[in-house]
Chains A and B, each alone.
Chain A
């Protein structure tokens, strides 16, 4: 009922042809799962952005992990999504096949016990994710220091979302009329966390929840502002997102990390978009301990970069659905359940034209 009501209201007010991008991979996934593209009027076009942290992981970073494991015999501890992401010489799964230790965790805190129980081994905890997971890793790193665990090191692949949205808007490859803002990233950074981007680009922006009626509510509010020719920074997910975000979590992030450049798959290096460890954490910072520069060549046939920037839809990739499937992914966008290619494949196959 609720969903139908929102759809009716959107149909009533929506006249212009508009392009809206959802940044967040979970939104991409839920939009497909509930068939939201199909129930919206045809003049509303939804584009998927780069909001899947494993999908934007650069080949170099995967290659670096392989290099460390193979040459210095580190066990790798990280989230399951990262296991199948291809670098240019293989994936973490390929490491496993070669007999190396790759441990999947659900919470970064698990790494503490793994290292404590296996004192004769050394481990790298690979931290990945946007603002939503960075505080968890920050807290874990403080614990590593407090508990003085000598055999646990850290690699930060953490990235920040506002710089990526800026990069998309700067590139201007897709003309966007509105943005569906990520609900859980915003829970951490607050509505305030988007003010800088909003003030600079003046594009309608609605922070949105994840239930189908919440997604449609966000789209509805966006359509209203777009039709009125106005721009607002709307918080359509007030039940989780506060003006200032989660201050405690933000404090943890900036106790441990500082902003720095990060390489994004499909984008290259984006300034101030990465979280790197502060000097106080240098003794566990694997990049400081092994400052090796790795040059990687990407897979030329995988169109993930274009998919992540919203320029191509997955079925336009020559590998999609034939050579590249969720069971046998060739690119990161097919690996993670939050990836755009996997969402297309699982929920639609080739029938998505819009």
Chain B
């Protein structure tokens, strides 16, 4: 139930609805909480709603910094 997974937005429809790709299958989600979402964004989806739009991978970024230091 709480497994929020990052999914890629492939289509934006009217009325705060978008289509995301889930391992080849297309599912419809509500984007009411992330209205600024664009095609190609990765979103965290929980029970049919996107709750955030993912920005760059921080753990990767930090590791790069650590490696250089």
Contacts and interface: CB of A to CB of B under 8 A. Distances in A.
Q: Do A and B truly interact?
A: yes
Interface of A: 2, 5-6, 9, 24-26, 29, 51-54, 79-81, 106-110, 128-130, 132-133, 135-136, 139, 184, 187-188, 209-211, 213-214, 217, 236-242, 246, 248-249, 252, 336-338
Given A54-B1, A240-B44, 20 more contacts: A25-B2, A80-B1, A106-B47, A108-B47, A136-B30, A136-B49, A139-B49, A211-B59, A213-B60, A217-B59, A217-B63, A236-B59, A239-B56, A240-B52, A240-B55, A241-B52, A249-B33, A252-B33, A338-B1, A338-B2
B57 interface: yes
What 9 pairs across the A-B complex have the smallest Cβ distances?
Answer: A107-B48, A249-B33, A217-B59, A184-B4, A240-B52, A136-B49, A239-B55, A81-B1, A187-B52
A155 B54 CA distance: 32
B57 A239 contact: yes
Contact of B48 (A80, A109, A130): A109
Contact of A132 (B51, B54, B57): B51
Nearest to A237: B58
B3 to A, nearest CB: 6
B66 interface: yes
A24 B54 contact: no
A201 B41 CA distance: 38
Contacts of B54: 239-240
B3 A214 contact: no
A191 B47 CA distance: 22
A217 B32 contact: no
Contact of A249 (B47, B51, B60, B62): B51
5 contacts: A5-B66, A109-B30, A187-B4, A209-B59, A237-B58
A172 B48 CA distance: 37
Q: How large is the interface on B (under 10, 10 to 19, 20 to 34, 35 or more residues)?
A: 20 to 34
B59 A214 contact: yes
Contact of A129 (B1, B29, B56, B57): B1
Contacts of A236: 58-59
Contacts of A240: 44, 52, 54-55
Contacts of A2: 59-60, 63
Interface string B20-60: 00000000011011110000000010111101101111111
Given A238-B58, A240-B52, A248-B33, A79 B44 contact: no
B34 to A, nearest CB: 8
Contacts of B44: 184, 187, 240
A248 B32 contact: yes
A108 B48 contact: yes
Nearest to B62: A217
B3 A246 contact: no
A25 B1 CA distance: 10
Nearest to B43: A240
A165 to B, nearest CB: 16
Nearest to B33: A249
B8 to A, nearest CB: 15
A129 B51 contact: no
Nearest to A250: B33
A184 B46 contact: yes
B47 A213 contact: no
